[in-house]
Structures are given as structure tokens and as C-alpha cells.
Amino acid sequence: MSIHVVWYDTEKTIIVWEFDGEWEWRDYHAAINTAVVMIKSVDHIVDSIMDLRRNRALPPNALMQGKRWFVVAPPNFGITVVAGGSALIRGIASTIAAVYKRFNDRIIMAVTVEEAVQIILNKKNQRL
């Protein structure tokens, strides 16, 4: 599998999706299953970072498949920050947010993982 989902912090408040090279939708679905189990294992809000810096290409049908995470995410899921990636990937994430209005405030774009972490920390402060 070329998508790895790991905890970013020991407090288990952020997960990172590491997209390495090429992958297929079955890899994405397996990563979703992993993320759901991880988020359900805690009782607080968990945000996520999709690290697409090493992503090479998207499989076909990205708009329909890409939204799946936001449909099946557990109730204690917060936001997803898309870090890095091509203009195409950023465009698809923005389109998902625009077309599926209920996801609009849950998809945010960042250039780097560091910027993504800062966005999440700011969001956590707003929740307090």
C-alpha cells in the first residue's frame, strides 16, 4: 500500500495520511478504514493532514472517490488539511468542498505539512 496513516502526535489528536508515489483506490479505501479505527479509538476530536508532497498521480474518478473520507469519517473527526500536491489535487479538493457544501468547512489547503499543523492548532484554539 502506498498510503500510510499514522499518528502525528502522542496525544492522538492529529493523523497524517502519507501518500507515497502511485496508489490505487483500494489503497485509499484501506487507508480510510485505518483512519476510522484510529479516530474511533479516542474520545476527542481528531484532525487529519493529507500529505501529498510525494504523490505522483491520481487514479481516475478522483472527484467521486475523494469525497468518500468525508462521508464515512467518525463523528469525532475534525478537519482535513491537504498539504502539498499538484494544482490538480488542490483543485479536486477545492471542488469537493464546493460541490459538497457539508464538507466545505472541513477541507483546508496548505502548502507544507508545517503550515497544515499550524492551521490545525489554530482550529483547535477556536474550538476552545
Q: What is the pTM of this model?
A: 0.90
Between 24 and 90, where is the model more confident? 24
Q: Tell me what the mean pLDDT of segment 42-58 comes to.
A: 92
- Contacts of 18-27 with C-beta under 8 Å, sequence gap 24+, read 18/51, 18/54, 19/50, 19/51, 19/52, 19/54, 19/55, 20/54, 20/55, 21/54, 21/55, 21/56, 22/56, 22/57, 23/55, 23/59, 24/59, 25/59, 25/61, 25/65, 27/1, 27/2, 27/3
pLDDT at residue number 4: 96
Amino acid at 117: V
Say whether pLDDT at 103 is over 80. no
